[in-house]
Chains A and B, each alone.
Chain A
């Protein structure tokens, strides 16, 4: 018996037909074709699979898809619709905040949430609250710089900057 789940993904209604144990990560990647969200461990330890669930960052490999009924999921594909670029994405490019790019969607989703949480007040704070997202290419200093940069934009332009 399949479980049918209705949710919103990147501001569009979506329905998933599930056996039960599928993670949100696998459902996004395998059923919905949203391969921007990455699997690095499937054990909740790397952050590559970070997405927003009702605006809060979660590890999609530790989230059951069946739990998402009625909830809103945002993935990297939904950050800047219609071919746009989110300020955090732009800052990541500008600061060369990645190399291979595999951890990057997770880092960016985490960074977007971090800014929203108001935890980008200092480099130390950024480092601390980005430490759940591993980057083996170790682009960490540039990731911190990119987030600091966007945090600065937010501070100088107020809350309406679209971040």
Chain B
């Protein structure tokens, strides 16, 4: 069968979200909206110390409070192993297993009651006495265990020290980034309901299949006995990639009480229980020739980590292959602190690493007296330094060129502090981004039934990125159906296995599986279409037939053919299904490096020094993400990530009280995220071509929004004022 031509309205262009109506009507069921008959509610008790042990825990008053069904502490919690490691790292440590306390806010008990009000009131009555130990909270504190290159992710090529010694120009600086909290607006919730030995979970997750695997392993159940529903998630930004302790506690609470239990985190608990972006300290050393060509690049990071958890946070990974440079040394170290376990948040690692690398490049450009964009262009990596292979697709230079044109980079006066308008000092800054490539094995299934409509599904999650919509589009295109004749469903662990919605990896992983399922379903229909009595296509070969408008018909005579429904009817079938499998391509076979998405970021800041105002007037991101399935939704993602980057740059800092390790700003009143009034002009443009390594041609969009934004802003601040700000968030006070 020849390719169906994509109808121009289906792909690329802006199709509205297929689940938009349910969201604007408030009908989309988030985990916190799920209810059951006889639903009980759980409230957590958290540690008020950061280090030490529980010396005594008294639950009697809580147990006797009205409506209370159970109080669970480490003394009566079932012993659980640690959950299995996943594709993205180890599981969090299982909760309530002993008397040890490693961070402020650690769960020490849970109260289950008839109502949330009763559970919360009784939680106040749990009396915990502690033996306090000295906590370590500071990334510089040598008492915290330093783990050198714990993931073996460090990489060296060439001789960095030698190259630095002989470089014509060298530059070295240290940078730091604050901890940032994900803070999705949706409160993470788990609703757990047992029926005999089977468990149903409605969970705030970005990875339905992983919740099933982890919970099944912890409870010693076959995977089929755990069913996980996550059709909608009120934002996650990485927080939903791991099975956090509250989900395990909810399942235990439901088991112990024999009731369905809802456990909804409070906003302060959202700061301590579902990960967050860890603080970093970084050093960058650069060596270059006067021409700007880099000869040495060293990038080392120290990253905060909890005492007992692990969290791969690839801060310096981007520096390995972002630029052509023969001598490179990158390394991520970690320091164990008495802080809540960190976890992924929007472009984990890259968000912090890009700030340091792209600030340092900018600093070098001034030292060289060279345009910062020109410096990046001169160090464009023609091949992937990691594998030595040519890129499968790389339009980074187009990102620079199109961005410069669209932004008006040529109007930038290179002299620092030279651009002014009334009382405003104006600065332009740029940053470049080479993200990581990420695709993993994924499954999907496609069915067409007697009514001629298609049902395509996978256990994948749509976290607001638009997976449901773009997969509906993709399926419709491949099956020659209209959008309204395709239903794409997801977020249910009984559906075919899918990796997480995260790391800019799902659209490609799932897209390839959907592509496979739809092609093979088409193939099955074609086989049937040419068979049997009454076939109008009898004798046709696959080359003669195309599908469009829900019909298989002759290419040269669209009038001759049959609808899907007619094919099924003629063969007495109710439906036909096909499974699809997507697997990442093998670079050894293709001879091409699996290309990441690329981007260039341009920022204009305006500073009124007298009034103490710093405004990000304009931000432009130009993205090469391969094929864009839906420009409207892709743009939304980049805009959203970029605004997240404004937060990282200017506002966001999870601050730990230096004495107690308590998070001092664990509310929306105190932890500032960008609001509408903080956002100026945020522009996005797409460049590039479909990536040839996969049939869908996508490379991932989601993570391209945030990283680089803070660097572009800080670089613009320098250009405006001559003040180099090397720690995030940037505070206006730093400008004086």
Chain A residues proximal to chain B, CB less than 8 Å: 19, 21-22, 26, 29-30, 35-43, 45-46, 48, 75-77, 80, 85, 89-90, 92-94, 96, 98-105, 108, 126-128, 130-144
Residues from chain B with a CB closer than 8 A to the CB of A19 are 117
Given contacts A77-B26, A126-B676, whether A45 and B667 have CB atoms under 8 Å apart is: yes
Contact A89–B24 (Cβ < 8 Å)? yes
Extra inter-chain contacts (12) besides given A104-B24, A141-B639, CB under 8 Å: A39-B187, A39-B264, A77-B25, A89-B21, A93-B21, A101-B28, A130-B676, A136-B235, A137-B464, A140-B674, A142-B636, A142-B639
Within 8 A of A (CB), among B670-685: 673-677, 679, 682
Contact B644–A138 (Cβ < 8 Å)? yes
Given contacts A46-B668, A93-B20, A141-B682, whether A100 and B234 have CB atoms under 8 Å apart is: yes
Residues from chain A with a CB closer than 8 A to the CB of B32 are 38-39
Contact A96–B26 (Cβ < 8 Å)? no
Within 8 A of A (CB), among B616-644: 632-633, 635-637, 639-644
Partner of B676, one of A46, A131, A136, A137: A131
Contact B644–A99 (Cβ < 8 Å)? no
Contact B26–A37 (Cβ < 8 Å)? yes
B669 to nearest A CB, angstroms?
A: 5
A14 to nearest B CB, angstroms?
A: 17
User: How long is the Cα–Cα vector from A85 to B29 in the complex, in angstroms?
Assistant: 18
Stretch among B178-186, B326-334, B384-392 lining the A interface: B178-186
B323 at the interface (CB under 8 A from A): no
Residues from chain A with a CB closer than 8 A to the CB of B642 are 138
Within 8 A of A (CB), among B59-97: none
User: How long is the Cα–Cα vector from A128 to B679 in the complex, in angstroms?
Assistant: 10
User: How long is the Cα–Cα vector from A53 to B261 in the complex, in angstroms?
Assistant: 32
A80 to nearest B CB, angstroms?
A: 8
A102 to nearest B CB, angstroms?
A: 3
Residues from chain B with a CB closer than 8 A to the CB of A30 are 116
Interface centre among A102, A104, A131 (most CB of B within 10 A): A102
Given contacts A22-B117, A130-B676, whether A102 and B184 have CB atoms under 8 Å apart is: yes
Chain A residues touching B, majority SS: loop
A39 to nearest B CB, angstroms?
A: 6
Residues from chain B with a CB closer than 8 A to the CB of A132 are 675
A to B CB contacts below 8 Å, 18 in the list: A35-B33, A45-B267, A45-B668, A77-B25, A80-B25, A85-B25, A99-B465, A101-B22, A104-B23, A105-B24, A108-B24, A128-B676, A137-B640, A138-B639, A138-B640, A138-B641, A138-B642, A140-B679
Contact A98–B667 (Cβ < 8 Å)? no
User: How long is the Cα–Cα vector from A92 to B267 in the complex, in angstroms?
Assistant: 26
Would you list the 4 A-B pairs with minimal beta carbon distance, nearest first? A36-B26, A100-B464, A102-B234, A101-B23
B413 at the interface (CB under 8 A from A): no
Contact B673–A134 (Cβ < 8 Å)? yes
Contact B677–A127 (Cβ < 8 Å)? yes
Contact A102–B186 (Cβ < 8 Å)? yes
Partner of A46, one of B26, B27, B185, B465: B185
Given contacts A99-B640, A127-B679, whether A138 and B16 have CB atoms under 8 Å apart is: no
Contact A96–B184 (Cβ < 8 Å)? no
Within 8 A of A (CB), among B85-143: 116-117
B191 at the interface (CB under 8 A from A): no
B463 at the interface (CB under 8 A from A): yes
User: How long is the Cα–Cα vector from A45 to B675 in the complex, in angstroms?
Assistant: 11
Given contacts A93-B16, A136-B673, A142-B639, whether A99 and B464 have CB atoms under 8 Å apart is: yes
B17 at the interface (CB under 8 A from A): yes
Contact A134–B675 (Cβ < 8 Å)? yes
Residues from chain B with a CB closer than 8 A to the CB of A101 are 19, 22-24, 28, 232, 234, 464
B686 at the interface (CB under 8 A from A): no
A96 to nearest B CB, angstroms?
A: 5
Contact A100–B25 (Cβ < 8 Å)? no
Residues from chain B with a CB closer than 8 A to the CB of A126 are 676
User: How long is the Cα–Cα vector from A85 to B24 in the complex, in angstroms?
Assistant: 9
Residues from chain B with a CB closer than 8 A to the CB of A105 are 24, 26
Partner of A85, one of B21, B183, B633, B669: B21
Contact B674–A40 (Cβ < 8 Å)? no
Contact A100–B26 (Cβ < 8 Å)? no
Taken residue by residue from 222 to 240, chain B's Cβ proximity to chain A (1 for < 8 Å, 0 otherwise) reads as 0000000000111101000
Within 8 A of A (CB), among B182-210: 182-187
Given contacts A42-B266, A96-B636, A142-B639, whether A136 and B669 have CB atoms under 8 Å apart is: no
Contact A128–B677 (Cβ < 8 Å)? yes
B14 at the interface (CB under 8 A from A): yes
Residues from chain A with a CB closer than 8 A to the CB of B636 are 96, 99, 137, 139, 142
Residues from chain B with a CB closer than 8 A to the CB of A94 are 16
Residues from chain A with a CB closer than 8 A to the CB of B17 are 93, 96
A53 to nearest B CB, angstroms?
A: 17
User: How long is the Cα–Cα vector from A23 to B15 in the complex, in angstroms?
Assistant: 39
User: How long is the Cα–Cα vector from A144 to B643 in the complex, in angstroms?
Assistant: 14
Contact A135–B185 (Cβ < 8 Å)? yes
Residues from chain B with a CB closer than 8 A to the CB of A43 are 267, 667-669
Residues from chain A with a CB closer than 8 A to the CB of B466 are 99
B261 to nearest A CB, angstroms?
A: 15
Partner of A134, one of B19, B33, B116, B668: B668
